[in-house]
Chains A and B, each alone.
Chain A
């Protein structure tokens, strides 16, 4: 991820989950404060309608904050950020208009304080530049709105002081929010770099052993048939028709196993491992992976880890029915292709046609005999991670069935349909595009 757009929520979704009560708290404070300030200073209000609208706008801003910070809506996007800040600034402007000419003090206006607090609450969710930029723009607006009201203020100090007070109420919390966001992102990135290095180092240590295991496995497979056959052939010094037939047979077998092995994706490996873990726990199960087009190969490291962790959590959950897990990856053309009417598309997929981004929809189904609340609580951290790696996460809990769906968007220009005929040696292709598995 690009560091300048990084947020704590994207980098450390679990940590951000822990901080989420802050958002409703800030929202509640903003709401109460705007109501109380308006009621206490009702003598300054010249236009009650505008004052009411101001409270409503501020409440909407607070509501936006609460909704956008909900774990189910993660990650907090730029659009919500903009909506929230605009509503808050709008509320502030309405408030100022409602007391125009009657405003005695700036410091007791609720607008600046609320805007500042709302920006502060963005700290775990938005990049620091955007927070401080919003703060700067809002405080400029505050200064611009404060200066023309010089005539009505009660305390006789230079108007600049009023402007400073209104701007500081926004800027100080916004700066704090931005500083937090920047610092925490730096720390997490530093830790991730370290952790990655450690993981790579540990994997390196296991390298020799793993290579040996792979070789062992291949050779063992050959020891039963191929090696004795070739040895016998060499000893005999001649080939018979029977040998020729057997060689063809063995070649077909070896090829079949090689192709099958090449077609295995990480998802199959994950399923195998979970199956082994289930057996170890004494509840052997059946995990089904349905990924006929091997879409799993296109997943990023982050997506792979998040999915594997979620599957692992499901299998280890109490009340999990070991025969119930089905992981399915199906594809749909991306939004770009969906727009184009089917009739306009050329017959047969031409490789030359620009390929739209594709969407892989992952569906995980399982039976989990737990109350829905507990299921959600159990999965919350894992779904938090899934949400930052995938789009459109949908969770349906109908005891005991549980369905989790999410979309992975990818933009690779090489859909499997186009790659097969192009060359026998598909560059991407460790894997044979399905079906035609006849062996020569």
Chain B
């Protein structure tokens, strides 16, 4: 108390004591510098995203209407070129999602509802490891190990289910086919889809679950009637985030497939549709500057595509988070 009486509170007499005044000024300046630095950092994020758009457009714009010979032999103009690449991208990603979704939901259920806690934590950790393995190693493994090992399976599919157009055609001798690329992609998107699904499953109110069990539901009935309806939007978001990852994945596809821009649904042949990303990785060394601008233009298409998918998915997640916060 005595201290306050000897030196009055600064608010009452600002500037009366030179020491206090200067320290206050210093403090104000320090605060202002720090807060504006923080704001600048926040704005940099926005600027960086905008810059990605701007620079891709400024460097890739000429790629939208380059000489027809640049797009040969796949196409004559940018739009059919990009459409063929988009087809390959969509085909590989959708196949990967078809394979991955059941496993992602199963794994998420395992961690959230089925596993004893002692097992659930290590399993979640192992799934994280799956996410940490670099994509180039998935590519190497897919091309050098999985593809040869699955040759028997692919031959079997071709022989017995060849009447389905997907499995028809002249089978690839190396085993490096669209099917294998999709399987590798599925393994790579599994962690993120599982993580999001797990989170929304775990967020189901305990009361709902116990009410279902109390009514005599089996565990599966409880999950089906209490957990799934509650988690539906989150599950959709998890799948879309996985899709976003599959769309942009480069190395796994580039290393497993030797591909060119084309439209074909045959999954087991050695003639495969390229994806946007793998096409960039395959041709980035081109001497021709025009080809490089075309690649940047296709990159822009990929960016817009994945941006939309991710934006919608994140908006869904954010909405469901606010709802259940």
Q: Decide if A and B are genuine partners.
A: no
Residues of B at the A interface (CB closer than 8 Å) are none
